Amino acid sequence: MAPTPTGRLVRSAHRTDLVIKRTFPASIHDVWSSITDSEKTAQWYGPWRTTSGDNPTAGSSISVHMLFEDGQPWCDARIEFCEAPHRLDLALLAGADESAAWHVSLTLTETTGFTTLALAHRIDPGINLGDIGAGWEYYLDMLVSAREGTPQPNFADYYPAQREHFDSQVAVDE
């Protein structure tokens, strides 16, 4: 059965984000380690290494080995904001042109033993929602799979099948 897309566009005062959420029966610290520990990110997104010092913090640069992308490229990123274990903001860089960066925020909240991860991808001019939405759904389901020890999803079940869902999105006010 094909996965159902959950992402939606949310408009705030200054921008529009694609927001996709997943909830885990785990503490916020446990989920935080799944999105910040290189050995754990290797299981669902790709391992990373710092390119500017030993302890990455806001302003640091990292490089992520995209193990689940064609050709398994390395992708440079900059940590824009980090407030462990609640929020991590990244600029995913497309080469030397920082104006083409994808701005992604990962926010975690814990309520009675469950942690919700909200991924927000800022929708800047030139970003095609139909092309990126399915990818984020896939990666978050990869995270679920890695945490649960279940078989990894197949990207072909997400794209292009979910493209219409994302192309038809209309932003709702936050």
**Does the pLDDT of residue 82 top 90, yes or no?**
yes
Contact call for residues 119 and 20 (beta carbons, < 8 A): yes
Whole-number mean pLDDT of the chain?
93
Give residue 96's pLDDT band: very low, low, confident or very high (50, 70, 90): low
CA quadruple 22, 150, 158, 103: dihedral positive or negative? positive
The angle, 0 to 180 degrees and rounded to 10, between the axes of the packed helices 129-148 and 28-36 is 120
Mention every residue, 6+ apart, whose C-beta is less than 8 A from residue 65: 42, 46, 47, 48, 72, 73, 74
The amino acid at 82: C
Give residue 2's pLDDT band: very low, low, confident or very high (50, 70, 90): confident
**Does the pLDDT of residue 95 top 70, yes or no?**
no
pLDDT of 158: 97
Residue with the two structure tokens 């139909």: 130
User: 108-152: per-residue pLDDT in tens?
Assistant: 999 999 999 999 999 998 899 999 999 999 999 999 999 999 999
Please compute the mean of the pLDDT values over residues 21-47 and round it to a whole number.
97
Distance, CA of 88 to CA of 132 (rounded, Å): 19
Please compute the mean of the pLDDT values over residues 17-38 and round it to a whole number.
98
Q: Which helix (H) or strand (E) holds 102?
A: strand 97-111
Please compute the mean of the pLDDT values over residues 70-76 and round it to a whole number.
94
pLDDT of 103: 96
Instruction: Write phi, then psi, for 16 (nearest 5 degrees).
Output: -125, 135
**Does the pLDDT of residue 55 top 90, yes or no?**
no
Give, in degrees to the nearest 5, the angle at Cα 35 between 147 and 74.
110
pLDDT of 114: 98
pLDDT of 49: 94
Give residue 72's pLDDT band: very low, low, confident or very high (50, 70, 90): very high
